[in-house]
A and B are shown apart, each in its own frame.
Chain A
Amino acid sequence: MLDTVIEPLEFAFMQRALLAAGLAGLVCAVVGIFVVLKGMAFMGDAVAHSSLAGMSVAYFFGGNVFWGALAWAVPASLAITLISRRANLRLDTAIGIIFASGFAVGIILMSRVSNYTADLFGLLFGNLLGVSWSDVILISVIAGVVLLIVTALYKELLFTSYDSTMSAASGIPVRLVEYLLPVLVGVTTVASLKAVGIVLVLALLVTPAATATLLARRLPGIIAYSITVALAATVAGLYLSFYAGLPSGPSIVVVATGFFLLALLFSPSKGVLWRGRRERLAAVEETVG
């Protein structure tokens, strides 16, 4: 039994994969809570997809795709907020424009590369087992900076997400927060690209946080559950991928989704299965009290 756990760790590529996926899961779990509460899921998805352009440019010139993605993600996040505000367009419209345009530019650039399909596949679906130590370092730096900012501005992020009008009225720099949060989301998706790839980033960003909202009532509890689910899903997903010979990113996503379904069914307060029982209890309380 213990061998099952230890054996994969003897491989350096598995150590790097676990570190990279765990860090990505951690930062996604935290930022994902704001994404879920504010309904920003497709903001994250759009930034991830559009950063294919940045990755392709980097790839084309033989640079690190990570830096390319990061260099693209920050202005793309700002552009979404700016376009929706300045052009007075709905946010989902601005998201659509950035989503498709960046992705299109990325595909065009990638089509000029000889082994087009194989390389594109790696960018789209992640290549966790091909993570280098420098990738791990880069992911830790991104995760560290994002978590530091979230911790430092926790009050402001919480209040603005809950009620931006009131937080503006009380003097919190809401404008700053409203531009910052999409950038944090964008940078977080970049940190997760190696783990799950462009197409599946959304799952890491949304699923653990959504699972947590089913399990805890208040934000501190939700954060704790979200982190736990994300770490459990990345580790279990990687082992599943190792032993069953499955692609790593999708394995992580499938395990995370499994956790979500379990919570959906069995959550003590919100579980679908207990609903009848809760309603009966409430009815009893009503008659007694």
Chain B
Amino acid sequence: MANTSTPASVEVLDGDLDAPDKVLRPHALDIRGLWTGYGRQQALKDITFQVDAGEVLGIIGPNGSGKTTLLKTILGLVRPWQGSLSVLGMPAEEQRRVMGYMPQVEQVDWDFPVTVGDVALMGRYARRGPLRRTNKEDREAASRALQQTGMYGQRDNLIGELSGGQRRRALLARALANQPQLLLMDEPMAGLDANAQHQLLDLLDDLRAGGTTIVLSTHDLSCVSAYCSYAACLNKNLIAYGPPSQVLNEEVLSQTFGSHLLMVHLDGQAYAYQHHSHDDGPEDP
């Protein structure tokens, strides 16, 4: 494992984080010796890394490398076989209320008869618990999330009527409605045009400035190198972890993607394509 850097030595990107405070605060995400899988099929092997609050981690790796599994394990949807996960100093399973998750759009039933506003409000359901209705505070939080994602104007539209980019933003609004301190996003950039990607990155910038920690999986290497403060190269085990400038080199990438990697340099941006995949290459900017 080429663990080039521990988070403690990473340069603080946001000027407002002073050093002593940073030392005292628990990691936003602290994963140690994590092994997991489905049935007897191992999916993740001995994963260890930490992310500090307000940072952005980009996870890259080929299909089946365990990116989604890692996100789902953090959320408690996949049980760890071994190892520990803590979120803001507490066991991850007790911290679901401070996490927001944006799944891949393919995993959602878009024919369900709910509106964009309904979906955003669902982000607040768990806060209220059974027997209790959502209240004014919940509706305001949902409205704010819709405004943040630019979906407020579509709040009365059925989710089935949305375009691909709007669907993503509706799912993001649901995640944001719960005002998460840790936001997990599965392939948020896939299928977005350049304009929509920039809008999304601007929004993530605002969130991170507000102290939200973001973990996203992506195929877009340039997005990771330009935007993320950490990069994790995953292929069942953690090939490399650290600031993108140190991690994203040809050696690590070919180790991560094996023979499946096709590097494409376009307008000064680097993309990783997989030879055998049909739908995972990001669209050209």
Complex interface residues of chain B between 88 and 113 (CB less than 8 A to chain A): 96-97, 99, 101, 103, 107-109, 112-113
Residue of B nearest to A221 (CB): B113
Residues of A within 8 A of B97 (CB): 170-171
Asked whether, in the complex, the Cβ of A172 is within 8 Å of the Cβ of B113, the reply is: no
Complex contacts, A135 vs chain B, CB 8 Å:
none
Complex CA distance for A167 and B127, rounded to whole angstroms: 11
Q: Which residue of B lies closest to A170 (CB)?
A: B126
How many chain A residues touch B (CB < 8 A): the figure is: 25
* Shortest Cβ distance from residue B71 to the other chain A in the assembled complex, whole angstroms: 9
Complex-state Cα separation, A160 to B252, whole angstroms = 40
Contact A218 B114 (CB under 8 A): yes
Bound: A173/B131 CA distance, A: 13
Contacts across chains A and B counted by CB atoms under 8 Å: 74
Question: Which of A17-25, A53-61, A121-129, A151-159 contacts its partner?
Answer: A151-159
Report Cα–Cα, A222/B115, bound state, in Å: 13
| Distance from A279 Cβ to chain B, minimum over Cβ atoms (Å) | 16
Bitwise, A125-164 to B at CB < 8 A (1) or not (0) is: 0000000000000000000000000001101101101110
**Is the Cβ of A166 less than 8 Å from the Cβ of B96?**
no
**Which residue of A155, A165, A170, A217 is within 8 Å of B134 (Cβ)?**
A155
Chain B residues with CB below 8 A from A219, complex form: 113-114, 118
Main secondary structure of the interface of A (DSSP, over half): helix
Q: Is the CB of B125 within 8 A of A218?
A: no
- Residues of the A chain whose Cβ atoms lie less than 8 Å from the Cβ of B178: 170
> Chain A contacts of B239 at CB under 8 A?
none
The contact of B130 among A152, A213, A216, A222, by CB within 8 Å, is: A152
Given A37-B112, A162-B109, A218-B115, decide whether A171 and B96 contact each other with a Cβ distance below 8 A: yes
Inside 8 A of B72's CB, which chain A residues have their CB?
A: 169
Is the CB–CB distance between B103 and A170 below 8 Å? no
Residue of A nearest to B174 (CB): A166
Across the interface, name the chain B residue whose C-beta is closest to A172. B126
Q: A153-B130, A155-B134 are in contact. Are A170 and B123 (CB under 8 A)?
A: yes
Interface check B47, CB cutoff 8 A = no
Contact between A217 and B125, CB atoms less than 8 A apart: no
- Check B101 against A169 for contact (C-beta < 8 Å): yes
In the bound complex, CA of A216 to CA of B158 (Å): 11
Does B77 make an interface contact (CB < 8 A)?
yes
- 8 Å CB interface, A28-43 against B: 37
CB distance from B182 to the nearest CB of A (A): 12
Write out the residue numbers on chain A whose beta carbons fall within 8 Å of the beta carbon of B77: 165, 168-169
6 residue pairs, one from A and one from B, having the closest CB atoms: A171-B126, A170-B126, A171-B96, A169-B75, A155-B125, A162-B112
Q: Hey, which bits of chain B sit against chain A, CB under 8 A?
A: 72, 75-77, 96-97, 99, 101, 103, 107-109, 112-115, 118, 122-123, 125-126, 128, 130-131, 133-134, 158, 174, 178
Other 7 A-B pairs with CB < 8 A, given A152-B130, A169-B75, A219-B118 = A168-B77, A170-B97, A170-B126, A171-B97, A172-B125, A172-B126, A222-B113
